[in-house]
Structure 1
Amino acid sequence: MPKPADPAQTPCVSYDDNERIRRICIRVAEHSRGGQDRAVRKRIFDVTGTLLRECHLHTRPLDLATMECASIEQVLSDLSLLRKNLNVGTGYFPPTIRLRFQQNNQEAA
């Protein structure tokens, strides 16, 4: 029988980072073309949150404070790269692709 994961070792997003991600998701959802449809906005919010959390925790730490204040076009550019290239299941993101908002402009170890 497999052992349950140790909660102390489970990576998680800090409260501040989680709030930044939430605010970025709101901006992206409000900017969407389907802005009038609540279901579409919710889906965009959920997908954006998943991409940002997975990338920030498992692939490349993001400068969420800068991302939160950046132009929506810059945010959407990184999200587009994540959506096309990030494997959420494995956490794989091609090392040759650079994100505008990755911290210190370096890959995660």
Structure 2
Amino acid sequence: MNYSAKSKVFTEKQIASLESKRRKNPGYYREIDHSCTFIVPEGVRVLELGCATGRLLAATRPSYGLGIDIDAKQIAAAQQLHGDQSKLEFQVGDVEEVDFSGMEPFDYIII
């Protein structure tokens, strides 16, 4: 399916902007990531809807993590950032249309 019409909100500039903000405020974003580990224990199955570059999903250290985003550029950035982590999978898709049948249940869902 072509999601380009729905994904025009996100651009390469916005991806760069998000990464720039992370570099300028590492403590703030580190705290967000760290706070997530208090809510989501390590080693569980996590689904993140609207995962962008996947940093929050990766911070949860799941046994299996699936990140879905409507923007192919965000998913490409996520795969580049976290491609070495075999427990993480990133897919382009509209969360309203993803077929979750046949998947094992997730312990936590991040929206």
Q: Greater share of strand residues, 1 or 2? A: 2
Structure possessing the higher radius of gyration over alpha carbons: 1
Q: Give the TM bin, normalised by the shorter chain.
A: under 0.3
TM score, norm. by length of structure 1: 0.26
TM score, norm. by length of structure 2: 0.26
Q: Greater share of helix residues, 1 or 2? A: 1
